[in-house]
Amino acid sequence: MLFRTDLALERTQMLGAQHIEGVNVREYELYETRISEIKVNDRKGEEAIGKKQGTYITVEVPPFTKSSELTDGRLNALVYILRSLLPKEGTVLVAGLGNADITADALGPSVAQMVLATRHISDQLRKSAGLEELRSVAVLTPGVMGSTGIEAAEIITAVAQKIKPSVILSVDALAAKSVDRLARTVQLCDSGIYPGSGVGNHRKEISRQTTGFPVISVGVPTVVDALSLARDLTGDENLQAHPEIADMMLAPREADMVTDSASKLLALAVNCALQESLTAEELLSLM
């Protein structure tokens, strides 16, 4: 791949989405929101676009810097897709990946802070509060290896082995190749995640194969690779960058607004998808 990107949609578009062996693409509208669904069916598909077998769903949203509304079609679409990907029963372990001290990488920890953790609430307390249908949710922010000395995948796997969730839901900031996708795209997939892969900082894979539990990942592109952007804008796929900027990643000027708005939308979507007995307004008041 000449471009670095975490987005399956961008990878298929580079190769011609309708003509890739082992890959199926479907586009449709859901709650007035544009959706692209990419299914990587086999090894040929994996090799073609550099993504593991699984389903990758892209939700196109208005720029996060220009929208303050949460309870609109974007939320409905995300909740619908999340419920279709998540098992109906069992504890859900939500893992917020990334570095809370770096704005463009703080999406995961920011979302985790707003997800409603309920696993610790006893059955007796749920009954007395009239919340018998409250789903069991555990929330984890594993941090980054530079601060902990431990891979995020190792921490998540250890916790998962202890609490035995029905699924791990990971949230992380992503990288795009095009500014058209930056801060206006949400990607969901059921194949796990390679933290840092889009920015060239490969960490251990978090997937069913490595953790022993199903992994659903959700993310928003908050940075774009400088070289990929230059090639995209010029159309010159052979363009080479100066060595000092070859690995540079660019974030929008309003990176703090992007992270804040995207975090609120994703956290509310996760809460709504998991806690079906509560309304969006009730959940929003608890965030």
Q: Which residues contact 101 (CB under 8 A, 6 or more apart)?
A: none
CA-to-CA dists, residue 168 to 25, 129, 137, angstroms: 25, 27, 10
In sequence order, what are the residues at sequence separation of 6 or more whose Cβ sits closer than 8 angstroms to the Cβ of residue 278? 271, 272
Question: How much is the mean pLDDT over the chain?
Answer: 87
Roughly what angle, to the nearest 10 degrees, separates helices 255-274 and 107-114? 40
User: In DSSP terms, which residues pair with 24 in a beta bridge?
Assistant: 39
Token pair of 133 as six digits: 């249908």
pLDDT for res 254: 86
> Residues 114, 287: contact at Cβ < 8 Å?
yes
Q: Can you tell me the distance from the alpha carbon of 34 to that of 51, in angstroms, rounded to the nearest whole number? A: 22
pTM of the prediction?
Answer: 0.89
**Amino acid occupying residue 61:** V
Distances (CA, A) of 213 to 18, 164, 171, 253, 271: 32, 8, 16, 38, 21
pLDDT tens track for 68-113:
666 678 899 999 999 999 999 999 999 999 999 999 999 999 999 9
Residue type for 59, please? Answer: V
Task: Pick the more confident residue, 125 or 66.
Answer: 125
The amino acid occupying position 118 is T
- Residues 130-154 have pLDDT tens digits of 778 889 999 999 988 888 899 999 9
pLDDT, one tens digit per residue, over 187-243 is: 999 998 876 554 445 568 899 999 999 999 999 999 988 887 777 777 777 777 666
pLDDT, position 179:
84
Beta strands in the chain (DSSP E): 23-30, 33-40, 54-60, 92-96, 137-140, 167-176, 185-189, 215-225, 249-250
In the block, tokens 């309870």 appear at 71
180-185-190-195 Cα dihedral, nearest 10 degrees: 70
Question: Residues near 242 by Cβ (< 8 Å), separated by ≥ 6?
Answer: none
Q: How many whole angstroms separate alpha carbon 95 and alpha carbon 152? A: 9
Highest mean pLDDT (candidates 44-53, 59-68, 156-165, 228-237): 156-165
Nearest C-alpha neighbor of 111 from the set 126, 128, 98: 98
Q: Are 110 and 100 in contact (CB under 8 A)?
A: yes
How would you classify the pairing of strands 167-176 and 137-140?
unpaired
Where does the pLDDT of residue 21 fall: very low under 50, low under 70, confident under 90, or very high at 90 and above?
confident
Per-domain residue ranges of the chain:
8-286
For the record, the structure tokens of 220 come out as: 């928003």
287/167: higher pLDDT = 167
**Which CATH number, 3.40.50.720, 3.90.550.10, 1.20.1250.20, 3.40.50.1450, labels domain 8-286?**
3.40.50.1450
Does residue 65 have a pLDDT over 80? no
Q: What are 53-64's pLDDT values in tens digits?
A: 999 999 998 887
pLDDT at residue 170 is higher than 80: yes
**Two tokens at 151?**
């891979």
